[in-house]
Amino acid sequence: MNGQWTIDSMPDMSGKRVIITGGSGGLGLETAYGFAAKGAKIIMAVRNMQKGYQAADGLLKKFPQASVEVMRMDLADLASIEAFAAGVIGKYEDLHVLVNNAGVMIPPYSKTKDGFELQFGSNHLGHFALTGRLLPLILKTPGSRIVTLSSIAAKKGFIYFNNLHGQIGYSAMKFYGQSKLANLLFARELQKRLSAVGADTLSIGCHPGVSNTNLISRGSGKQAGKAVALLWGLMSQPAAMGALPTLYAATYPSLHGGEYIGPDGKGGRRGYPTIDRSVDHKMNEETMAKLWRVSEKLTGVSYDFSAASEAAKKKGILYGVKL
């Protein structure tokens, strides 16, 4: 669509504030590098503060003039998410980009602090709650964007509404696919609701293809074994390439919201950012709406679009679509 889009293609981000979940390593850190190269003010939302500080030090060595802050947040703990969001809203007047990046992949069966299956609870419900709590700040920031990372695993994903938490059986890969499809459906449903109130905030989904990160540690936080790491390295593209769809989704000026961005290579596994239409068949309106309702109930977080509605009314662009 646009040739070989790279970090050099990004617009200037000077003065713009960006939150990246899981910014201390892998795709999150490479995404932070991209934003730092363009002058953005970066907040790394991380579970492990020591790793966060180490990542921030490395970023500052590469970009000495960068603005980077490390704040603790655990996506597997709704109270932690609430505290983080309150801290951000209490400290800052704007938020230009929220990157819902962090995730766990195919861990042994385990639960979040609130009793949700770990992958669905962290990858989807945690980001659903975080976005909802930060939404007032995002909506008041002109031209803001919410970027949510999915995965090529979403293509075969299914939402098990009768077994969301693995209480009647668990398959690590199937539940990873569920969580990543949920990310994708959330991003599209959020854009639908933003459009309905005339907000200029955009919600865009993306995926990194097959990228060389430590997700294969299966949520342990440890480095994968040498044999597994070697095989994964041969199969995957560098994390810096995997971060490009995120950076594209966050900054490319001609996007309208609701797009899904991924690598342009065969099967979406490698390459440069483009619009990926391979999951259009997964965008079931009833499933999207049901997932939203279930997510609100489970997290206790309801989205407040009133700020966008009032702004839209003043501009005369409220569409009057019932949510």
Q: Respond yes or no: is residue 252 known to be catalytic.
A: no
CA atoms within 13 A on the CB side of 7: 15
Average pLDDT over residues 311-319: 60
**Least confident piece of the model among 40-54, 181-195, 229-243, 250-264:** 229-243
Task: Say which CATH topology domain 14-210+241-313 has.
Answer: Rossmann fold (3.40.50)
3-state DSSP assignment of residue 151: coil
CA atoms within 13 A on the CB side of 320: 1
pTM summary value: 0.91
CB atoms < 10 A from the CB of 11, how many?
Answer: 10
Burial class for 180, CB neighbours closer than 10 Å (0-12, 13-18, 19+):
buried
The active-site residue out of 109, 160, 176, 252 is 176
Handedness of CA 44, 47, 51, 53 (dihedral sign): positive
> Is the distance from CB of 128 to CB of 186 less than 8 angstroms?
yes
**Digit-coded pLDDT (tens) for 252-304:** 999 999 999 999 988 889 999 999 999 999 999 999 999 999 999 999 999 99
Task: Give the residue extent of every domain in the chain.
Answer: 14-210+241-313
Average pLDDT over residues 59-82: 98
